[in-house]
Amino acid sequence: MRFPSLYNGEKPVFSFEFFLPKAPKDMGRFRETVVELKRLSPDFVTLTYGAGGSERSQTIETAAMIKHEIGIDTACHLTCVVHTKAEIAELLNRIAGEGIENIVALRGDMPKDRDPIPVEERELPYAIDLVRQIKERGGFSLAVAGYPESHVEAVSPEEDLQHLKAKVDAGGEWIITQLFFDNKAYFDFVARARAIGITNPIVPGIMPIATAKQTKRFTEMCGTSLPQSLLDGLNPIAEDKEAVTRFGIEYATRQCRELLEGGAPGIHFYTLNKSRATTTILENLRNT
């Protein structure tokens, strides 16, 4: 199935993102989590990409396992920052060989176990270069990343939005946003995107709060703001893990309801390979 066809306005599209387990010992629990979330009938799931040597194979093998053994339509993330064009061509052939038709095309970050490759020495320095190579090959539908509060490396919001427009023009068919906690940032982003001619579905990426420390670390890394209303509710309970989890579920439920009521075509949940929050939030949404 080509996932862009799901965004037809008939109903909200719910999708989940999983990350590749770092250690083989974690694969059993990972599989259990995916099976637990399957009962929610997500429209599709995505699997993040491990750019390291053995992780390349594991990413494709794990995505194939989710698709063929567990039975959920799956998109592979693919990053290009460390790859040559020949390596990407080989990876695309392997992904296609597993019957996977959808890819989330990203630049990616340099793995921490190697020295950075200067931009001028990379064959595929930016996500748009990956999008172009995949579209030239054919056979896949592509999602690209959007940043409601701009990419941390962007010179300006305007420049960042032009980069998104270029990725869409090169072949990106739907947009999944970076996580955010302020819905105004999403709605403003969509309005600005529409104003410059981006008509593709823009799907909000939502990460339920798991711990106060983790949330603040993630937002610092990706340049996402934390609304004062969130901080006012989170700070007094920051050391109470169960209270934080409940608060995170309640906050994300309200956030998702407002997004859907405001016209968002669906929700892409960053699950962090956990089932409780995503399960409760989606059940809340479907029961109202």
Burial class for 27, CB neighbours closer than 10 Å (0-12, 13-18, 19+): middle
User: CA-CA distance, 6 to 4, in Å (whole number)?
Assistant: 5
Report how far residue 205's alpha carbon sits from residue 230's, in angstroms, rounded to the nearest whole number: 17
Report in angstroms the alpha-carbon separations of 203 from 13, 148, 166, 250, 258.
9, 11, 18, 20, 14
Q: How many CB atoms are located within 10 Å of the residue 183 CB?
A: 19
Q: One of 10, 17, 90, 121 is an active-site residue; which one?
A: 17
- The reply to whether 17 belongs to the active site is yes
Would you give the distance in Å from CA 49 to the centre of its chain?
11
Q: Which residue has the tokens 């053994």?
A: 69
Q: Which residues pair with 79 in a beta bridge?
A: 106
Cα 157 → chain centroid: 20
Instruction: Enumerate residues 6+ apart whose C-beta is below 8 A from 89.
Output: 133, 137
Looking at the chain, how many residues does it have?
A: 288
Q: Which residues contact 77 (CB under 8 A, 6 or more apart)?
A: 46, 47, 48, 49, 59, 103, 104, 106
Residues annotated catalytic, as ranges: 17
